[in-house]
Amino acid sequence: MILSIATITALVILLVFHSSSSAIAGQPCSPPSASMEVMLKADPQIKNTIHRVCFNCHSDQPKYPWYASIWPSSLLIQHDRQKALARLNFSQWDRLSPEMSRIRLLDACTMMTEGKMPLWYYRPFHFEARLSSQEIQHFCAWAHLQ
């Protein structure tokens, strides 16, 4: 029994170490001046919304949940985050023209409005990432003004 527990514990530690080296590997960070909120002078509610709901996948400043260090969920998170960053990164807004900035914001609005974001399978573990209809409306109204 003791041997089994020790084996399982070792396996868990191994998996944790294995995945922490892959899931949390990141890109070089961008300066704050390159962020969307600075470049577009986002209002406090927009900042609050995107930090709370979007930043874990769509910024250079993720706050990884505990299961990001455990295989195989670590692989899922790594995959989702990479794909998310390729499509939208709030930390690299300086790479977009004003036209593309507006397109990305309207895309984000659409994804929120259609309930596609945040991804449904993360929602049960992230109560803080739930979006109210008022927040979505405010984000979309602001996006249309950009």
Residues found near other proteins in the complex (CB under 8 A)? 4-5, 8-9, 12, 27-30, 67, 70-73, 75-76, 79-80, 82-83, 85-88, 92, 95-97, 99-100, 103, 106-107, 110-111, 114, 116-117, 119-121
Cβ 63 vs Cβ 56: under 8 Å: yes
Nearer to other proteins, 52 or 106 (CB): 106
> From residue 69, how far is each of 65, 75, 123 by CA, in Å?
8, 9, 18
| Smallest distance, other proteins to C-beta of residue 24, A | 16
- Which residues are CB-contacts of 70 (< 8 A; sequence separation ≥ 6)? 12, 15, 16, 19
| Smallest distance, other proteins to C-beta of residue 12, A | 6
Nearer to other proteins, 11 or 45 (CB): 11
| Smallest distance, other proteins to C-beta of residue 44, A | 26
Nearer to other proteins, 39 or 106 (CB): 106
| Smallest distance, other proteins to C-beta of residue 62, A | 16
> From residue 109, how far is each of 51, 63, 125 by CA, in Å?
15, 23, 23
Cα separation, 44 vs 13, in Å, equals 41
